Amino acid sequence: MKIKTFTIISLLCVLLACGSQRNENQQSDTDEQTDTKMSIDFNADSAYQNIERQVAFGPRVPNTAAHRNCRNWLADELKRYGAEVTLQEMKLTAFDGTVLEATNIIGSYNPDAQNRLLLLAHWDCRPWADADPDPANHKKPVDGANDGASGVGVLLEIARLLHANPTDKGIDILFVDAEDWGTEGDDLSWAMGARYFAANPHRAGYRPQQAILLDMVGGKDAVFYREYFSMSSAPWLVDKVWNTAANSGYSERFNNEVGGAVTDDHAELIKVGIPAIDIIEHHPYNGFNPTWHTIDDTMESISRETLKVVGQTVANYIYDIH
Ligand code: AHN
Ligand code: ZN
């Protein structure tokens, strides 16, 4: 009887101990999860300032001083944020015969990692505000606060985050030139810098597993639809990014409807077999933001809130917070 009681009591003790052990394990699992799900705060004010700095150079139209000065600043910023920087200089002949002195700027993190994510945005400005309601403005260059500087501004803030919170992932930030010296009806007149990069990558055999283009990501109340070429190239990547946005609280800004097809830098990567998607403000019926290719594409058209929505989504995607 005594032995029985003793056995029962010890059995109970063992069970209780096991129970508490399991609880401890669960607790530490939860702690680890909280650790890996550390929050990374995308600073929209910094992104906004990155846009202001670009716009302050003047329109970054190829073959101008503003363009050259901005190029040097962008390269210096990427270096300051710890990236390995490559400048890819090109002479590109535009549809109208103009020879553009163009430069793609590449900033690499963990350049030897095999698995790579490419983040890109165009940094040049359109020489003509030919969508402006006033024809008198059609030969003026655009400020490109949204069309150009916004994607770059967000990615420079991502570079700052990568420097402050290093990961072991292979990430390349690419600022492509000569996107916007194009003409309607001639698909090859756009995205010349991206086409050059696709054919002549900065490293022999460079082949990222995934690429995300940011274009016009600063407009007020912007909504991002699932762009058509992105859906044909990498629907799984669109899913991942749009789900990340939804889990970050931005489901109203990342709409699950499939939008129109936009001839843009990502299409040049898709052509050479790189899975690529475009986060772009392009409404299925209303098209681009009303300031697109007008003289109103200025700082006044930039929303810190939209920069936060896009930047935090990209940051959460990079850091697996989804
Ligand atoms: C076309 O209008 C065919 N593509 C526009 C791509 C673009 C221009 N993105 C920014 N500016
Ligand atoms: Zn444009």
Alpha-carbon distance of 228 to 259, in angstroms, equals 6
User: 35 and 171 share a domain?
Assistant: no
Q: Is the pLDDT of residue 228 over 80?
A: yes
Q: Is the pLDDT of residue 5 over 50?
A: no
User: 197 and 271 share a domain?
Assistant: yes
Number of domains within the chain: 2
Alpha-carbon distance of 167 to 164, in angstroms, equals 10
Q: Whose CA is nearest to atom 3 of ligand 1?
A: 263
Which band of pLDDT confidence, cut at 50, 70 and 90, is reported for residue 38? confident
Domain region containing 28: 1-39
Which band of pLDDT confidence, cut at 50, 70 and 90, is reported for residue 37? low
CA of 18 to the centre of ligand 1 (A): 63
User: 194 and 173 share a domain?
Assistant: yes
By the 8 A CB rule, do 253 and 224 touch? yes
Q: Is the pLDDT of residue 12 over 60?
A: no
- pLDDT one-digit tens code per residue, 157-167: 999 999 999 99
* 236: CB partners within 8 A, 6+ apart: none
Alpha-carbon distance of 322 to 310, in angstroms, equals 14
User: 15 and 120 share a domain?
Assistant: no
User: 168 and 222 share a domain?
Assistant: yes
- pLDDT for 216: 98
User: 123 and 4 share a domain?
Assistant: no
User: 143 and 214 share a domain?
Assistant: yes
Alpha-carbon distance of 24 to 270, in angstroms, equals 49
Q: By CB neighbour count within 10 A (0-12 exposed, 13-18 middle, 19+ buried), where does 224 fall?
A: buried
- pLDDT one-digit tens code per residue, 83-110: 999 999 999 999 999 999 999 999 999 9
Q: Whose CA is nearest to atom 1 of ligand 1?
A: 263
Task: Determine what percent of the chain is predicted with pLDDT higher than 70.
Answer: 89
- pLDDT one-digit tens code per residue, 259-283: 999 999 999 999 999 999 999 999 9
CATH for 162: 3.40.630.10
User: 78 and 148 share a domain?
Assistant: yes
Q: Is the pLDDT of residue 214 over 70?
A: yes
- 27 or 142, which is more confident: 142
User: 94 and 225 share a domain?
Assistant: yes
Q: Which residue from 265, 261, 266, 303 is spatially nearest to 282, judged by alpha carbons? A: 261
Ligand 1 probe mutation, 188, 263, 281, 283, most atoms within 8 A of CB? 263
User: 8 and 124 share a domain?
Assistant: no
Does any ligand 1 atom lie closer than 6 A to the CB of residue 147? yes
User: 30 and 49 share a domain?
Assistant: no
Q: Is the pLDDT of residue 31 over 50?
A: no
- pLDDT for 72: 98
Does any ligand 1 atom lie closer than 6 A to the CB of residue 189? no
- pLDDT one-digit tens code per residue, 166-212: 999 999 999 999 999 999 999 999 999 999 999 999 999 999 999 99
